[in-house]
């Protein structure tokens, strides 16, 4: 499995879900959840607050907005791919006034552009930024966007979608001045889908007081109150997904978040190197043009003139490797683009033998299909991984 979520589950995470139902009012799960909250905050680099939902990432997207904003508020959506667009559509559906800065599909946003937009529209209440857009694998420089916001004199909240990047790409919530951060269980967190997370600071909590969109189910105030464990999930907790998340976050802390980021960075670089090697005939490219704007969690790969659906099909049916489909690549580059793209997810539970196996299976399929490429990408990737 090499799709960008749901990601591969470590064996110990799967084992911990093999249990009977548990009491959701008292007992072990209550204390374990308290420890989980502290671990998640450490991984996010925040000392502030978090609320969890029995939801996917879309739920956490909505939670972040409804807890901080009201219908008619102006928000600036920074878009570098399909997920940024989808989030802006959700915001629009909630009645917010959307201004979009589209950074395109291949480059991170220029922070200067954000600053200029905020100067033009000083009434902007929030900036919605996707850290890593999973469709394009472009990663934005969050700290620089924050600096540009500050320089513009804007009071807007910075709300960042880290669903793809959390536990993969370096991220420091408090240090980088992020007010709200959104994550979900099924990507870098190595847990099945089903838990959405919003992290928020005091400024966001203050915004909650005036937020008119909030409904009881999403309300931070109810979940974050001391009303008891049952209210933390506003009903029955997703018990077995929680057990998975207890274990997965323990694995992350045991390895150390700095080491986790470094492992992802090297593995991503090995993928980049393999693609650059394949490309010596000229038809292959990494979608994210600039090395420092490439995510450590996922890589979008383009191959002009060949159908990557065939490649994915061969990998899946004949070799047992599931690759990510190309999404959101078609709109401006012609319908053939979608077919010319695929993605390798390398998020969470991934190590050198797994990525070498992935790249090896891709090369095997390329040989079988007669798609033009320069053989030897796996060896090039191995050289990068030798730096481990």
d(CA 65, CA 17): 32
| C-beta nearest to ligand PLP: residue | 57
Cβ atoms 145, 127 nearer than 8 A: yes
d(CA 15, CA 34): 21
Judged by CB under 6 A, the chain residues 4 through 43 that form the site for ligand PLP are 5
Cβ atoms 207, 185 nearer than 8 A: no
Packed helices 239-255 and 257-278: angle between N→C axes, nearest 10 degrees: 90
By CB under 6 A, which span of 12-20, 160-168, 276-284, 311-319 interacts with ligand PLP?
160-168
Closest approach, Cβ 360 to ligand PLP, in A, equals 26
CA 20 to each of CA 112, 236, 240, 243, 245: distance values in angstroms, whole numbers, following the listed order: 54, 15, 9, 11, 17
By CB under 6 A, which span of 14-22, 29-37, 157-165, 242-250 interacts with ligand PLP?
157-165
Closest approach, Cβ 75 to ligand PLP, in A, equals 16
161, 219, 247, 363: residue in contact with ligand PLP (rule CB under 6 A): 161
By CB under 6 A, which span of 55-63, 112-120, 260-268, 349-357 interacts with ligand PLP?
55-63
124, 134, 285, 295: residue in contact with ligand PLP (rule CB under 6 A): 134
By CB under 6 A, which span of 18-26, 158-166, 232-240, 349-357 interacts with ligand PLP?
158-166
Closer CB to ligand PLP, 80 or 124, in the complex: 80
40, 163, 323, 356: residue in contact with ligand PLP (rule CB under 6 A): 163
65, 184, 288, 327: residue in contact with ligand PLP (rule CB under 6 A): 184
Looking at the DSSP bridge assignments, the partners of residue 101 are 78
By CB under 6 A, which span of 117-125, 161-169, 251-259, 372-380 interacts with ligand PLP?
161-169
Does residue 345 belong to the site contacting ligand PLP (CB under 6 A)? Answer: no
Return the residue matching tokens 């012609």: 334
169 Cα distance to chain centroid: 9
Closer CB to ligand PLP, 64 or 163, in the complex: 163
Closer CB to ligand PLP, 81 or 377, in the complex: 81
Packed helices 28-44 and 239-255: angle between N→C axes, nearest 10 degrees: 50
CA 261 to each of CA 46, 222, 248, 266, 286: distance values in angstroms, whole numbers, following the listed order: 17, 34, 15, 9, 21
Cβ atoms 60, 220 nearer than 8 A: no
Does residue 111 belong to the site contacting ligand PLP (CB under 6 A)? Answer: no
Closest approach, Cβ 5 to ligand PLP, in A, equals 5
Does residue 83 belong to the site contacting ligand PLP (CB under 6 A)? Answer: yes
Cβ atoms 46, 199 nearer than 8 A: yes
Q: Would you report the helix, strand and coil content of the chain in percent, each value rounded to 5?
A: 45, 15, 40
Closer CB to ligand PLP, 345 or 377, in the complex: 345
Q: Given the rule CB under 6 A, which residues bind ligand PLP?
A: 5, 56-58, 83, 130, 133-134, 161, 163-164, 184, 193
């Amino acid at each position: 499995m090499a799709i960008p979520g749901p990601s591969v589950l470590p064996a110990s995470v799967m084992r911990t879900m093999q249990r009977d139902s548990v009491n959701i009012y008292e007992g072990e799960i209550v204390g374990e959840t308290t420890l989980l909250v502290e671990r998640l905050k450490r991984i996010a680099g925040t000392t502030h607050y978090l609320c969890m939902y029995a939801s996917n990432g879309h739920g956490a997207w909505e939670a972040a907005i409804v807890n901080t904003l009201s219908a008619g508020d102006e928000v600036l959506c920074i878009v570098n791919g399909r997920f940024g667009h989808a989030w802006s559509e959700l915001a629009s559906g909630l009645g917010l006034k959307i201004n979009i800065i589209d950074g395109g599909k291949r480059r991170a946003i220029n922070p200067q552009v954000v600053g200029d937009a905020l100067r033009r529209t000083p009434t902007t209440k929030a900036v919605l930024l996707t850290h890593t857009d999973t469709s394009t694998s472009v990663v934005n420089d969050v700290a620089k966007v924050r600096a540009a916001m500050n320089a513009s004199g804007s009071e807007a909240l910075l709300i960042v979608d880290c669903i793809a990047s959390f536990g993969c790409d370096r991220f420091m919530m408090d240090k980088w001045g992020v007010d709200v951060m959104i994550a979900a269980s099924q990507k870098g967190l190595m847990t099945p889908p089903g838990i959405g997370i919003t992290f928020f600071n005091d400024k966001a909590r203050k915004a909650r007081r005036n937020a008119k969109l909030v409904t009881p189910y999403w309300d931070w105030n109810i979940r974050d109150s001391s009303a008891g464990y049952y209210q933390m999930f506003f009903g029955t907790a997703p018990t077995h997904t929680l057990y998975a998340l207890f274990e997965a976050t323990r694995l992350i802390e045991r390895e150390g978040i700095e080491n986790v980021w470094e492992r992802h960075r090297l593995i991503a670089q090995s993928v980049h190197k393999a693609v650059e090697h394949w490309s010596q005939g000229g038809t292959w490219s990494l979608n994210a043009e600039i090395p420092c704007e490439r995510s450590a969690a996922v890589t979008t790969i383009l191959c002009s003139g060949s159908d990557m659906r065939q490649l994915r099909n061969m990998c899946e049916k004949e070799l047992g490797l599931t690759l990510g489909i190309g999404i959101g690549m078609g709109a401006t580059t012609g319908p053939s683009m979608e077919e010319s793209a695929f993605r390798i997810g390398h998020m969470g539970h991934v190590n050198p033998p797994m990525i070498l196996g992935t790249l090896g299976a891709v090369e095997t399929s390329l040989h079988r299909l007669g798609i033009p490429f320069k053989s030897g990408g796996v060896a090039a990737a191995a050289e990068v991984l030798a730096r481990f």
